[in-house]
């Protein structure tokens, strides 16, 4: 069974990926260009019945796998990708949970470290570790010198649903990641300097990731009512401002790049809130800023950002 990524040690990921969300499916094939640039060689998106995928961490996601499989087959055929067998897969955000674990004190032994991490993971994911497919990566220490770990988890039963779906089509997914982990790839390896923020939103929630030197400094998913979203985002920005360790009066602004993806937030409103709270005059990054040539105006970057981000791992690692 393919596992959630822990460390990017296998460079042979395909430049082809599938993106699944509630109400939409997409496929994309990227072609590497010069430097860090790339081009969409083939792509297709399709609005699907919202009942076909019910994203959930705890319960069944696919009510009619056969019907969804038929949609994916047709989608791949329309993009000229039906004969492809190896894919990366971007999962709906709600199917996975991602947490950053901070160790308040240093463990005295390896066994103590594992015990503490296990306890924190089970508490953070509200599930026994035996039920989860877990990926863990050590992060740089926080400003107080404490050890930190990035941990991604999906219920094994949920992961099996998506794996079985692809198997029914004769396909294999060697890399399966939540949506924001695909989107955040656009902020790595493109020569950006300073702190970078991804805001990935849907109708139900938003995920914010702040990268520093290519590694997560802050990662938080907030599920809230639409009318509460701006206040929650503002509070997250205040938390980042306090924890950044940077004096904005000396640097002019805290963030050097902002990527906004999804339909839960207006890009213009996110820009306004970020600039009002953190200072500076950022505008949301566009595909051209990220080195991606869409090749046609009919392709929406938001629709393919997650799977296309996974496809870039074909040459990034």
Put residue 237 in one of left, alpha, beta given phi > 0 → left and psi -120 to 50 → alpha.
Answer: alpha
The length of the chain is 317
- Domain shared by 52 and 178, yes or no: yes
Q: Is residue 311 part of a domain?
A: yes
**Boundaries of domain holding 216:** 192-287
- Domain shared by 179 and 259, yes or no: no
CA 205 distance to own-chain centroid? 13
Task: Give the pLDDT band of residue 247 (cuts 50, 70, 90).
Answer: low
Of the listed ranges 217-226, 245-254, 284-293, the least confidently predicted one is: 245-254
DSSP H/E element including 173: strand 172-178
- Domain shared by 257 and 201, yes or no: yes
Cβ-based neighbour number of residue 36 at 10 Å: 16
- Domain shared by 34 and 166, yes or no: yes
Q: Is residue 2 part of a domain?
A: no
Please compute the mean of the pLDDT values over residues 292-317 and round it to a whole number: 88
**Alpha-carbon distance 306 to 288, whole Å?**
16
- Domain shared by 243 and 273, yes or no: yes
- Domain shared by 23 and 142, yes or no: no
The one-character DSSP state at 261 is E
Tokens of 55: 């994203």
Q: Is residue 11 part of a domain?
A: no
Whole-model pTM?
Answer: 0.89
- Domain shared by 212 and 171, yes or no: no
pLDDT at 4 over 90: no
Cβ-based neighbour number of residue 154 at 10 Å: 26
CATH number, domain with residue 86: 3.30.420.40
- Domain shared by 283 and 203, yes or no: yes
Task: Give the pLDDT band of residue 309 (cuts 50, 70, 90).
Answer: very high
What distances in angstroms separate CA 197 from CA 12, 153, 208, 251, 252, one per listed residue?
Answer: 28, 22, 7, 17, 17
Q: Is residue 30 part of a domain?
A: yes
Specify the higher pLDDT residue, 238 or 7.
Answer: 238
**pLDDT tens-digit map of 34-74:** 888 899 999 999 999 999 999 999 999 999 999 999 999 99
Q: Is residue 52 part of a domain?
A: yes
Q: Which residues contact 11 (CB under 8 A, 6 or more apart)?
A: 317
Q: Is residue 117 part of a domain?
A: yes
Q: How many domains is the chain partitioned into structurally? A: 3
Instruction: Report the chain's terminal Cα–Cα distance, integer Å.
Output: 22
- Domain shared by 270 and 135, yes or no: no
**pLDDT tens-digit map of 165-179:** 999 999 998 899 999
Q: Is residue 164 part of a domain?
A: yes
- Domain shared by 253 and 305, yes or no: no
**Alpha-carbon distance 30 to 14, whole Å?**
9
Q: Is residue 9 part of a domain?
A: no
DSSP H/E element including 149: strand 148-155
- Domain shared by 220 and 176, yes or no: no
The one-character DSSP state at 290 is G
The closest alpha carbon to 21, from 304, 241, 215, 268, belongs to 304
**Alpha-carbon distance 72 to 84, whole Å?**
12
The closest alpha carbon to 186, from 152, 214, 151, belongs to 214
- Domain shared by 39 and 120, yes or no: no
- What pLDDT is attached to residue 253? 67
Cβ-based neighbour number of residue 267 at 10 Å: 19
Q: Which residues contact 13 (CB under 8 A, 6 or more apart)?
A: 88, 174, 175, 310, 311, 313, 314, 317
């Amino acid at each position: 069974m393919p596992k959630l990524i822990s460390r990017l040690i296998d460079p042979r990921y395909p430049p082809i990926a599938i993106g699944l969300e509630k109400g939409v499916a997409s496929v994309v094939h990227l072609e590497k260009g010069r430097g860090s640039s790339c081009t969409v060689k083939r792509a297709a998106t399709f609005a699907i019945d919202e009942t076909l995928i019910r994203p959930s961490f705890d319960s069944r996601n696919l009510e009619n796998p056969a019907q969804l499989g038929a949609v994916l087959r047709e989608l791949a055929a329309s993009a000229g990708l039906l004969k492809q067998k190896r894919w990366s897969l971007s999962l709906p955000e709600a199917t996975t949970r991602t947490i950053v674990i901070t160790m308040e004190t240093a463990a005295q032994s390896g066994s103590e470290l594992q015990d503490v991490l296990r306890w924190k993971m089970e508490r953070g994911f509200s599930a026994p570790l035996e039920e989860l497919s877990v990926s863990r990566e050590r992060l740089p220490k926080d400003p107080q010198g404490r050890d930190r770990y990035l941990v991604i988890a999906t219920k094994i039963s949920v992961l099996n649903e998506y794996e079985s779906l692809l198997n029914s089509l004769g396909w294999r997914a060697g890399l399966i990641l939540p949506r924001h982990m695909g989107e955040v790839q656009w902020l790595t390896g493109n020569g950006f300097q300073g702190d970078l923020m991804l805001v990935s939103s849907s109708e139900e929630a938003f995920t914010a990731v702040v990268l520093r030197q290519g590694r997560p400094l802050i990662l938080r998913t907030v599920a809230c009512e639409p009318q509460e979203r701006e206040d929650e985002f503002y509070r997250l920005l205040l938390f980042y401002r306090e924890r950044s360790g940077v004096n904005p009066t000396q640097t002019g602004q805290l963030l050097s790049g902002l990527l906004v993806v999804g339909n839960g937030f207006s890009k213009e409103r996110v820009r306004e809130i970020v600039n009002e709270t953190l200072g500076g005059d950022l505008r949301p990054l566009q595909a051209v800023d990220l080195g991606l040539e869409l090749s046609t105006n009919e392709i929406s970057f938001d629709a393919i950002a997650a799977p296309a981000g996974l496809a870039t791992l074909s040459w990034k690692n």
